[in-house]
Structure 1
Amino acid sequence: MRILIVHNLLWAHYKSSVFQALQHLVDQQADLSVQVLQIARNERSRAGLETSGGETPPTYTYNYELLFDRYLEETSVRERTRLLLQRARAYRPDVINLTGYYDPAQLLLLIWAKINGIKVVMQNESTAADQQRGGWKERFKRWIFSQCDGFFCFGSQAAKYVIQLGVPPAKVLLRKNAVDNNALRAVYERALPTRIQQQQALGLKPNNFVFVGRLIEAKNLPMLLTSFAEATKRSKNGDTWGIILLGEGDEQTKLIQTIHTLGLTEHVILLPGRPWFRVPEILALSNVLVLPSRSEPWGLVVNEAMACGLPVIVSERCGCAVDLVHHGQNGFVFDPDQATQLTQQLMQFMDSAVDMEQMGKAAKQFIAPYAPEVVAQEMLNGFIKITN
C-alpha cells in the first residue's frame, strides 16, 4: 500500500511528530510506503514562532517533500494544483490523506483521485460550535464529504460534526489530536529547578494561571481578566496568584487597558510568543492552564499543558474539552458566557480547595492515549481498513 499525505505547513510540529511515528510503523512492513507533501514552509501569522534566540527546534525524520519554500499565502491555487497532481501521478498512491476541504487545489486532487479509483481520507478539525454553520457552504461540504472514504478527526466533537453532515460513523477512523508529549515534558522538567529564580526575574507571583495563544477576540481574554479580578478580591490567597498571558495579537492594547482598569498591573504579565519547544519553560512558572475561548476547534495547548502535568480550566467551546478534560479530576470545564463559573473555578485553585498535585498526575494519565505513536497507529489502521 502506498500512502500519500498532503499537509499545509512544514512548521506544524505536532503533525511532524505523528508523521515520524507513522514512518516508523511503515518501515517495519515491506509492502507499505508513505510520502508526505508539505505545501509550504509556514504561514505569515506564525513566522515569528519558527525559531527563537538561535535555538534549534527538535527535528523529525520522515519521507517528505516541501513543495514551496515560502509562506502558504504566497502560493497560488494554480501552483498548488499543478504540483500536487504532478507528484500524485508520479507516486501512484493507493490512498491519499487530504489536510482539509477549504483548499481548491486539494479538492481538485480529490476529484482526480476519485476518477482514478484512489481512496481518500479527509482530515477534519472543525466542530459545529466553533463557527456559525448553515447555508450553501454546509451543503457543499456535505457533497465533499460524500466523496471521501474515511475521516481523521481532531476529537469527538469534530467527528460528531462530520456525522451530522451525513458521514456514516464507520467512516470516522480517528478521533484524536496529539503533540510531542515527551519532548515537551523534557523541556518542562529542565526548567523546573529554576522556577523561583525565573519568577522573581520576571516579577511574577509565586502561583500563576497561564494562557498560551494569540491575543485575539475569540480567545475571550477580557472575561478571564474580569473573573480573575473578582477571584483575587474574594480569595484569602489573592495576593499570591497572578496570570501569565503568553502570546501576541490584535487585542494586546485593549488587554493592557483592561488590566489597568481592573487594577491588575501587579498580577498580570504579558510575554511575547515563543516557539512551541520553548513554551514549557513558561508552563514551568505556572500552576494551571486556562483556555477561555469562545471558538476553538481543538486547543493543542491543553495537550501541551497536560503533558507537562498541569491541571487545566477549559471552555466548553474548545473541541478538546470533551475528550481531554475530566471535570473535577484533571481540571474543569466552564461556559465561556458565564464569568461567575470561571471565577469559582479559579478560586478552587487559589483557595487550595482541590488537590493540584493529584490533578497534575491525572492530567499525565489522561493525555497518554493522545501521543504521536498512538495516533500514528490509528491512522495506519484506518488506511489499511479502507484500502482493504
Structure 2
Amino acid sequence: MRILIVHNILWAHYKSVVFQALQRLVDQRPDVTMLVLQIARNERSRAGLEVEVGTTAPTYAYDYDLLFDRYLEDVTLAERMQALLQKARKFRPDVIHLTGYYDPAQLLLLGWAKVQGIPVVMQNESTAVDHKRGSLKEYFKRFVFSQCAGFFCFGSQSAQYLIQLGVKPAKILLQKNAVDNATLRSVYEKSVSQRSDQQQALSLRQHNFIFVGRLIEFKNLPTLITAFAQAITQSAMAHQWGLVLLGDGVEKDSLQTQINALNLTDRVTLLSGRPWFRVPEILALSDVLVLPSRSEPWGLVVNEAMACSLPAIVSERCGCVPDLVHDGQNGFVFNPDQPTQLADQLKQVMDGLVDLKRMKNAAEQSVVPYSPEAVAQEMFDGFSKITT
C-alpha cells in the first residue's frame, strides 16, 4: 500500500506528530510506503508563532516533501496544481489523503485520482454550527464528498455534519484530533515547579484563568472579559484570581481598551504569543482554560490544556465539546452569547464550589484516548480498509 498525504503547511506541529506516529506504523510493514506533501512552510497569519532563531524546537521524523519553502498565500494556484499532479504521478499512490475540499488544486488531484481509480480520503474539520451555510456551497460539498472513499473528521460533530450532507456513516474512518501530549506535559511539569516565582515575575495572581489563541473576533474575548469582570464582583475569593490572555492579533488594542475601562489592569494580563511548545510554561501558572469562541471546528488548545491537567470552560460551539468536555467533570460548557452564564461558571471555580483537583485529574485522563498514536492507528486502519 502506497499512501500519499497532501497537507497545507509544514508548521502544523499537531499534524506532524501524528504523521510521525503514522510513519512508525508504516515502517513496521515492508509492504507499505508513505509520503506527505507539505505545500508550504507556513501561513502569514501564523508567522509570529514560528520558532525564534536559536530556540530548540521539537522535531518530527516522517517522509515528506516541502513543495514550496514560503508562505502558503504566496504559492499560486497554478504552482500548486502542477506540483501536486507531478508528485502524485511520480509516487503512484494506492490511496490519497487530501486536506480539504476548498483548494482547487486538491480538487484537481481528486479528479485525477478518480480517473486513475485511486481512492481518496478527505479530511473534514467543519461542523454544522461553526459557520453560516449557503445552499449552493452545501450542494457543491455534497458533490465533492460523493467522490470520496472515506473521511477523517475532527470529532463527532464534524462526522454528523458529513452525514447530514449524505455521507454514509461507514465511510467515516476517524473522529479524533490530537496534539503532542508528551512534549506538552514534559514542559508543563518542568515549569510548574517554578510557578510562584514566575507568577510574581509576571505580576500574576495566585490562581488564574487562561485563554490561549489569536486575539481575533470569533474568539469572543470581549465576552470573556465582561464575564470575568462580573464574576469578581460576586466572588468572595476574587482577590486570588486573575485572567491571562496569551496571544496576539488585531483585537489586542481594543481588548486593552476594554480592560482599562473596566479597571481590570491589575487583574487581566495580556501576554504575547509564543511557539506552541512554550505555551505550557504559562499554562503552569494557570488553573483553568477558557475558550469562549463563537466558532471553532475543534479547539486544539483544549487538548493542550488537558494534557497539562487543566480543566476547560468551553463554548458549546467548539467542535471538541461533545467528545472531550464533560460538563461538571473536567470543565464546563456554556453559551458564548451569554456572559452571565460564563460569569457564573467562573464564580463557581473562584469560590471553590467545584472540586478543582478532581477536575484536573479528569481532564488529564480525558485526553489520553486523543494521543497521536491513537489517531495514527485509526488513520492506518482507515487507509487499509478502503484499499482492500
Q: 2:162: which partner in 1?
A: 162
Deviation of the 1:53 alpha carbon? 6.0
Letter in structure 2 aligned against 1:354 = V
Deviation of the 1:322 alpha carbon? 1.0
Q: 1:273: which partner in 2?
A: 273
The CA deviation string for residues 241-299 of structure 1, in whole angstroms up to 9 with x for no partner, is 10000001111111111111111111000000100000000100000000000011111
Deviation of the 1:55 alpha carbon? 1.0
Letter in structure 1 aligned against 2:95 = V
Is contact 1:22–1:377 with CA below 8 Å preserved after alignment? yes
Letter in structure 1 aligned against 2:162 = V
Deviation of the 1:135 alpha carbon? 2.2
Letter in structure 2 aligned against 1:257 = T
The CA deviation string for residues 276-333 of structure 1, in whole angstroms up to 9 with x for no partner, is 0000001000000000000111110000000000010000000011110011110000
Deviation of the 1:358 alpha carbon? 1.0
Is contact 1:334–1:341 with CA below 8 Å preserved after alignment? yes
Deviation of the 1:356 alpha carbon? 1.0
Deviation of the 1:54 alpha carbon? 2.4
The CA deviation string for residues 331-379 of structure 1, in whole angstroms up to 9 with x for no partner, is 0000111111101110111001111111111111110000000000000
- The answer to whether structure 1 residue 237 and structure 2 residue 237 are counterparts is yes
Letter in structure 2 aligned against 1:326 = H
Distance in 1 of aligned mates of 2:347 and 2:22 = 43
TM-score, normalised relative to structure 1 = 0.99
Distance in 2 of aligned mates of 1:249 and 1:28 = 43
Q: 1:111: which partner in 2?
A: 111
Distance in 1 of aligned mates of 2:158 and 2:254 = 32
Letter in structure 2 aligned against 1:32 = V
Letter in structure 2 aligned against 1:259 = I
Deviation of the 1:239 alpha carbon? 1.2
**Structure 2: gaps (5+ residues):** none
- The answer to whether structure 1 residue 97 and structure 2 residue 97 are counterparts is yes
Q: 1:206: which partner in 2?
A: 206
Q: 1:29: which partner in 2?
A: 29
User: Which stretch shows the higher mean deviation, 255-264 or 2-11?
Assistant: 255-264
1:174-253 mapped onto 2 (5 Å cutoff) = 174-253=174-253
Q: 1:41: which partner in 2?
A: 41
Distance in 1 of aligned mates of 2:87 and 2:53 = 36
Distance in 1 of aligned mates of 2:139 and 2:275 = 38
Deviation of the 1:134 alpha carbon? 2.0
Letter in structure 1 aligned against 2:175 = R
Letter in structure 1 aligned against 2:337 = D
- The answer to whether structure 1 residue 17 and structure 2 residue 17 are counterparts is yes
Q: 1:321: which partner in 2?
A: 321
Distance in 2 of aligned mates of 1:353 and 1:107 = 52
**Structure 1: gaps (5+ residues):** none
Deviation of the 1:179 alpha carbon? 0.1
Deviation of the 1:186 alpha carbon? 0.2
Which of structure 1's runs of 4+ aligned residues deviate more than 4 A? none
SS in 2 for 1:243: strand
Distance in 2 of aligned mates of 1:326 and 1:135 = 33
Q: 1:339 to 1:207 in 2, by over 3 A?
A: same
Letter in structure 2 aligned against 1:154 = F
Q: 2:290: which partner in 1?
A: 290
Deviation of the 1:225 alpha carbon? 0.7
Q: 1:340: which partner in 2?
A: 340
Letter in structure 1 aligned against 2:258 = T
Letter in structure 2 aligned against 1:27 = D
Distance in 1 of aligned mates of 2:109 and 2:178 = 26
Distance in 1 of aligned mates of 2:199 and 2:365 = 28
Q: 1:377: which partner in 2?
A: 377
Percent of counterpart pairs with the same letter?
69
Letter in structure 1 aligned against 2:242 = G
The CA deviation string for residues 3-50 of structure 1, in whole angstroms up to 9 with x for no partner, is 000000000000000000000001101111110000000001111111
Q: 2:255: which partner in 1?
A: 255
TM-score, normalised relative to structure 2 = 0.99
Letter in structure 2 aligned against 1:52 = E
SS in 1 for 2:193: helix
Q: 1:69: which partner in 2?
A: 69
Distance in 1 of aligned mates of 2:318 and 2:301 = 11
Distance in 2 of aligned mates of 1:237 and 1:258 = 23
